[in-house]
């Protein structure tokens, strides 16, 4: 099994022992690192020249999938040695997120794109079928995005661990959507900041749905930041204050065996300010009580992180877990003590970045 670190792909692995292979998706392909005697060293590089948006390892077939912002979706049947295109029916749109869940006794893959469409495949990407209901909700004509080409995208997907037919989607910028019939029909939840970043339905907290939206924009009355719903998305409460240190909160992790243990990361302000400020001023925050209180993590992290943290991952094993955080400077930070201390294990391999975000910082540098 692989630890996958990418803006829109798999975020959590669970096993009996720690995984020793880390795949990092960057603006210049996938870098594969192996752990030996406590240190991580580069072993291979896959798909050079491709801006990787999402990495997914499908365990039953032992296949790897990689989406790109360059309108391609790749698959590997030999653990990365060779790759083939598997995006024939997606229409040449950028891949923003990849996800998977068992449906009818086999694995169903999902691909969310820009412009915001949703596709699924029941044959490991050989064929894709669109779920048109996502674009049949009221207000879809108002979906947009600040940066050119001003098109919204499906940034994140989650599945109810108790009801496989219930799917959640975060559309940036369009809102939080829910389907109760396997994706045939959808409903947009009102009263939330429409700039939806991440949605998570953790197995360790069944019945709860977590949604992440920045507090750096949106109406003051919008529920924003790190939010939770205890009724399947009907009502929401913010777990972070409007002046939360991480205003542009994005990646979120919840421990799959302890629903009270949460981590979020992101920038102090939104990407539109990074060119002017010459920094994202990113941080990582932790909650041990289900989001009732938060602490900003510092030990081992730079006092000032200029880059943004655009991807996080968690590797969980019997008796412990490790955290990984990738930045737009191409660095990866690591912690194996619940975030108490961190160290930089990878440096300057290429930006780990959602679409064009890294330009906002690299041009200003």
**What are phi and psi for residue 271, nearest 5 degrees?**
-60, -25
Average pLDDT estimate for 140-168:
94
Radius of gyration of the chain (CA): 19
Please give the backbone phi and psi of residue 134, each rounded to the nearest 5 degrees, phi first.
Answer: -60, -30
Structure tokens given for 196 = 């939806």
Q: CA–CA distance from 251 to each of 106, 184, 264, 343 (Å)? A: 28, 27, 6, 19
> Binning pLDDT at 50, 70 and 90, where does residue 169 land?
very high
Task: Measure the CA–CA gap between 148 and 191, rounded to whole angstroms.
Answer: 26
Split at pLDDT 50, 70, 90, the class of 151 is very high
Q: What is the phi/psi pair of residue 360, to 5°?
A: -60, -25
- For 56-90, the pLDDT digits (tens) are 999 999 999 999 999 899 999 999 999 999 999 99
d(CA 285, CA 295): 5
Model pLDDT, residue 148 = 85
Q: What is the pLDDT of residues 295-327, one digit of tens each?
A: 999 999 999 999 999 999 999 999 999 999 999
- Residue 217: predicted pLDDT: 62
pLDDT > 90? residue 200: yes
Q: Which residues contact 200 (CB under 8 A, 6 or more apart)?
A: 156, 158, 209, 210, 211, 212, 252, 254
- Is the preceding omega at residue 161 within 30 degrees of 0, hence cis? no
Is the pLDDT at 156 greater than 70, yes or no? yes
Model pTM score: 0.96
Q: Tell me: the pLDDT tens digits for 98-127? A: 999 999 899 999 999 999 999 999 999 999
The pLDDT confidence band at residue 358, using thresholds 50, 70 and 90, is very high
CA distance 238 to 323: 24
CA distance 299 to 178: 39
Place of tokens 């795949």: 23
Domains in the chain, CATH or no CATH each:
1-115+117-148 (2.130.10.10)
How far is 228 from 181, CA to CA, in rounded Å?
22
- First-to-last alpha carbon distance for the chain, in angstroms, is 37
pLDDT in tens, 210-229: 999 998 765 555 688 999 99
């Amino acid at each position: 099994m692989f630890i996958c670190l990418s803006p829109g792909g798999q975020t959590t692995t669970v096993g009996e022992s720690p995984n020793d292979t880390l795949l990092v998706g960057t603006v210049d392909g996938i870098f594969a690192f192996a752990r030996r005697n406590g240190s991580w060293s580069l072993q291979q590089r896959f798909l050079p020249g491709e801006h990787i948006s999402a990495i997914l390892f499908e365990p039953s077939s032992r296949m790897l999938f990689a989406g790109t912002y360059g309108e391609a979706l790749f698959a590997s049947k030999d653990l990365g040695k060779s790759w083939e295109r598997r995006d024939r029916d997606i229409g040449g749109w950028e891949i923003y997120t990849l996800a998977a869940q068992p449906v009818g006794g086999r694995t169903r893959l999902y691909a969310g794109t820009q412009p915001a469409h949703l596709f699924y495949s029941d044959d490991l990407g050989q064929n894709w079928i669109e779920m048109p209901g996502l674009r049949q909700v009221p207000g879809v004509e108002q979906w947009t995005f600040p940066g050119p080409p001003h098109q919204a995208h499906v940034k994140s997907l989650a599945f109810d661990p108790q009801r496989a037919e219930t799917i959640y989607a975060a559309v940036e910028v369009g809102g939080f959507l829910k389907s109760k019939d396997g994706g045939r029909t959808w409903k947009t939840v009102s009263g939330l900041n429409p700039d939806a970043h991440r949605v998570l339905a953790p197995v360790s907290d069944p019945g709860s749905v977590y949604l992440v939206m920045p507090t750096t924009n949106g109406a003051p009355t919008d529920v924003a930041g790190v939010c939770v719903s205890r009724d399947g998305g009907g009502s929401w409460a913010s777990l972070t204050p409007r002046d939360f240190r991480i205003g542009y909160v994005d990646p979120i992790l919840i421990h799959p065996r302890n629903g009270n243990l949460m981590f979020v990361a992101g920038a102090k302000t939104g990407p539109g300010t990074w060119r002017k400020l010459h920094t994202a001023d990113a941080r990582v925050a932790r909650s041990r009580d289900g989001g009732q209180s938060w602490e900003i993590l510092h030990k081992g992290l730079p006092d000032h992180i200029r880059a943004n943290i655009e991807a996080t991952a968690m590797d969980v094993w019997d008796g412990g877990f490790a955290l990984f955080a990738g930045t737009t400077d191409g660095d990866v930070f690591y912690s194996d003590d619940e975030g108490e201390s961190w160290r930089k294990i990878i440096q300057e391999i290429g930006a780990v970045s959602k679409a064009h975000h890294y330009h906002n910082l690299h041009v200003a540098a």
